[in-house]
C-alpha cells in the first residue's frame, strides 16, 4: 500500500515539471507573424521539418548574406500573391518517396499556432498541387504541441503581443 502511494506521489510530482502543451488538430490555421496573414496548415508528426509553399523564388544578396524572395497564394484571394523575404539558413537535399532528390532553400519562420509562438527552420517548395500551403513538422511542434489526428481547427492562432 505504501509502495503504491509512493509511486503515485512520484508520478504527480513528475507531472508538475512537464510543460503544458497545446492540443491541436491535424489541420490548423497558422499565423505568419511578420507579414500578418493566416494560412491553413497540415500538422504532420511524420515530417521532421516544416515546409511552406513558395512560388517565384528569387535568390539575392542583402547585407552580404544570401536571401530569398518568394510568394505564397493569398488565402483571401487565390489569384493574388503575398511576397515574403527571408535570409537563407542553408540548402537541404530532400529525398522524395519516388527516390529522386531535390534541393530546397531553408529559412527561419515564426508561426503562431494555437497560443504557441514558434520559430523553426522551414523548407521552401512549390506546394500548389497539395491541399495545404503549409506543412508543420516536428521541428515546430516538439515540446509544444500534441496532435489529435481525428480533429481539425481546435484552436485559432492567438499570440497577442501581451502574451510574449
3-class SS string, 105-160: EEEEEEEEECCEEEEEEEEEECCCCCCCCEEECHHHHCCCEEEEEEEECCCCCCCC
Exposed, middle or buried: residue 3 (CB in 10 Å: 0-12, 13-18, 19+)? Answer: exposed
| pLDDT above 50 (res 4) | no
94-128, pLDDT tens digit by residue?
Answer: 877 777 888 999 999 999 999 999 999 999 999 98
**Over 90: is that where the pLDDT of 145 sits?**
yes
Give the H or E element holding residue 85.
strand 81-87
Rounded-to-5 percentages of helix, strand, coil across the chain: 15, 50, 35
Residue 16 is predicted with a pLDDT of 52
- Is the model's pLDDT at 60 over the cut of 70? yes
What's the pLDDT score for residue 154? Answer: 97
Q: What is the mean pLDDT of the chain?
A: 87
Indicate the burial class of 71 (C-beta count within 10 angstroms; 0-12, 13-18, 19 or more).
Answer: middle
Res. 161 pLDDT band, cuts 50 70 90: low
Q: How confident is the model at residue 18 (pLDDT cuts 50, 70, 90)?
A: low
Asked if 25 contacts 148 with a C-beta cutoff of 8 angstroms, the reply is yes
Res 95: pLDDT: 76
Checking if the pLDDT of 7 tops 60, the result is no
Q: How confident is the model at residue 8 (pLDDT cuts 50, 70, 90)?
A: very low
Mean pLDDT along residues 3-21: 50
Amino acid at each position: 500500500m505504501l509502495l503504491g502511494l509512493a509511486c503515485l506521489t512520484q508520478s504527480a510530482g513528475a507531472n508538475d515539471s512537464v510543460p503544458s502543451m497545446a492540443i491541436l488538430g491535424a489541420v490548423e490555421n497558422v499565423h505568419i507573424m511578420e507579414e500578418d496573414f493566416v494560412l491553413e496548415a497540415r500538422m504532420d508528426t511524420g515530417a521532421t521539418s516544416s515546409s511552406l509553399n513558395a512560388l517565384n523564388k528569387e535568390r539575392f544578396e542583402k547585407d552580404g548574406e544570401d536571401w530569398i524572395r518568394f510568394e505564397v497564394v493569398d488565402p483571401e484571394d487565390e489569384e493574388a500573391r503575398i511576397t515574403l523575404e527571408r535570409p537563407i539558413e542553408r540548402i537541404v537535399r530532400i529525398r522524395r518517396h519516388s527516390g529522386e532528390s531535390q534541393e530546397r532553400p531553408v529559412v527561419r519562420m515564426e508561426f503562431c499556432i494555437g497560443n504557441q509562438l514558434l520559430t523553426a527552420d522551414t523548407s521552401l517548395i512549390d506546394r500548389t498541387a497539395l491541399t495545404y500551403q503549409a506543412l508543420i513538422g516536428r521541428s515546430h511542434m516538439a515540446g509544444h504541441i500534441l496532435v489529435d489526428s481525428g480533429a481539425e481547427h481546435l484552436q485559432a492562432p492567438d499570440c497577442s503581443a501581451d502574451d510574449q
